[in-house]
Amino acid sequence: MSFINSLKKHHLFFIFSIIFLLKLFFVRILLFDSFNIFQTFFVEIGYFLIIFGLIELMKSERVKFILYVIIDLIVSILLLAVILYKNYYGYIATVYAFGLINQVGTVQESVLSLFNPIYLLLFIDFLLLIVFVFVKKRFSQLNDGNKSIKFILGTIIVGIALISTNLLMHKGEQIADSVIAAEKQGIFNYQVFAVINKNANQNSLTPDELAMLPDSIADLKEVSVIPEEQLKFAGIAEGKNVISVQVEALQDFTIGLEIDGQEVTPYLNELLKDSIYFPNVYQQIGPGNTSDAEFIFNTSLYPNAWTATSESFSDRAIPSLPKLLNKLGYTSFTAHANDVSFWNRENLYPALGFDKYYDIKFFGQEDVISIGPSDEVLYSKLVPELKKMHEQGQNFYGQFVTLSSHHPFKIPDTKEVITLPSKFDGSIVGNYLKSVNYADFALGKFVQDLKDEGMWEDTILIVYGDHFGLHPTSVTENDISLLNDLIGHEYHYHDQFNIPFIVAVGDQSYGEIINTIGGQIDILPTVANMLNLSLDNFVHFGQDLVNHPDNLLGMRYYMPIGSFFNNEISFKPKEEFEDGDAYDVYTNGRIRDYSAFEEDYDRILKLMKYSDLYMNSLPKREHSEMLERN
């Protein structure tokens, strides 16, 4: 009888508890392939028992119903966001990712492209609630108007007990893979641990540790000093203007790829004949994505693990490539055809020491593709600016961040792009290849403009990808099949994270391939050698890929914490080292016995910790350090 009485008095509680349990069960199936209803209750429902218990203290049925519906709507939207985020990034979003919700409008087309109609089941209860509104009078008659304090207190206590038990069970637990962590801890407890872990990572280095840091990094990376006279490519671009082109979503498998006799990247293929090409370089971005790639390139530091580095450290004075070149009389600028406020770049760029920037206000709304003006507009509008500096004898460093090959990769029919076989029609892979082909075309026009204006011979051009374009969870089975056929093997995370890195020195011809395993963190040291830039007392975690062939580099966020690449294997843990997966970096073959590489696992964790400590130790910059906007 007591249960029946509780049901009468708190019918809204039971209705919404069942709704939330079913929703959470549905979401866990989508995220984790988990079908355990008991585990869903145990790890997920605690917070809602407390919230619902507090709502039940309200006297007005109308107020209670409204509060339940509001919470239902908010949680449903957040759960949908978690699903979409995991689909695209393969990562369970934290509260810090939700803090960037204001940027969704800019990439709404990409977000909508990931939407599956089945996700509407998260909102089907709202249709049922409409029916409930019409029949609620009958339910109201069941309610005698007297709430049960014992029931409410019991509910809240059960909720607190469930949460406390879960938090105590997983306290101090370091699960490398975010998906496994969220599955075991619960989606909402995972958020709590994300906050705890971030707050626990606020330590900095002592002055003595800071002074010893370069040596500590060299020891951990086992990098030895090479006499200057023995350095290959040393100073080959000394005194030249520096142009870096960070190409949106450019993956290395597209380089040299032909389809029905058509080259996907005809210009880059031609450029490689005279360039230095590094085909085994991997992305290392964090939650800041493209902005993190900019940060890594300009600093040779690891990005923040929990939030976009541009959000967390743009208030710091960060040692960087622009500042190194500034000492040699260079002026530096960065150009991105989107709004500079995206990823908080208006604060990141002065922190990195750029002198000025060009954004959407400079480029306008001409020839828009996806989220901004086309790559052709980006390049063509900046050539006169480059020419002006060149004619004045002003050395410059220009960072170009392209946009046209941004997800969902829709290039207008009016553009000159590759013609693909019919099997690619309507596929994400087909759209991606067309967008890369267009980005390649626009880059080729830009270099030709540099040649026509007499600037090419005085230029070192650096081209690299910012991050993957095709994530296995954000494409269809047909797309995966197309990819497998294109690359001649099963699409692996090596293919996904592998980006090209190309260096061309305008008046010199090399045509050399450097097969060293590397990451974005290694680009700055490699280029510094070519520019004859001294990195003495400049803290950096990368290495010159030309002269230091033995490498160890880490990745986090898009791979579990502790993941690394070395000259032999790539490794990613699940919960810890013992249960991880290792693959040959050249053949993608599975390596069963990887126990010999545990030292590399420990070293990479220390290196990334050192990078975090170093970032925390950087001094705050003067807020008056603002950039010139063009």
540 annotated as belonging to a binding site for a ligand: no
72 annotated as belonging to a binding site for a ligand: no
11 annotated as belonging to a binding site for a ligand: no
Task: Quote the longest CA-to-CA distance of the chain.
Answer: 91
**CA gap 257, 291 in Å, rounded:** 28
290 labelled catalytic: yes
Q: Could you please report the per-residue DSSP string of 95-127?
A: HHHHTTGGGGGGGHHHHHHT--GGGGGGGTHHH
**CA gap 330, 395 in Å, rounded:** 5
Element (H, E) at 569: strand 569-572
Catalytic site residue from 290, 334, 459, 526: 290
Q: Could you please report the per-residue DSSP string of 43-75?
A: HHSHHHHHHHHHHTT-S-HHHHHHHHHHHHHHH
**CA gap 149, 154 in Å, rounded:** 8
406 annotated as belonging to a binding site for a ligand: yes
Instruction: With CA atoms as reference, report the closest residue to 370 among 417, 402, 335.
Output: 402
- In contact, 253 and 495? CB cutoff 8 Å: yes
355 annotated as belonging to a binding site for a ligand: no
Helices marked H in 100-247: 108-113, 125-142, 149-169, 178-185, 187-199, 207-221
Helices vs strands, H then E, count in the chain? 24, 19
For residue 387, the Cα-to-chain-centroid distance in whole angstroms is 34
- Omega before 619 within 30 of 0, i.e. cis: no
Catalytic residues: 290
List binding-site positions for Mn(2+). Answer: 248, 290, 466-467
List binding-site positions for substrate. Answer: 406
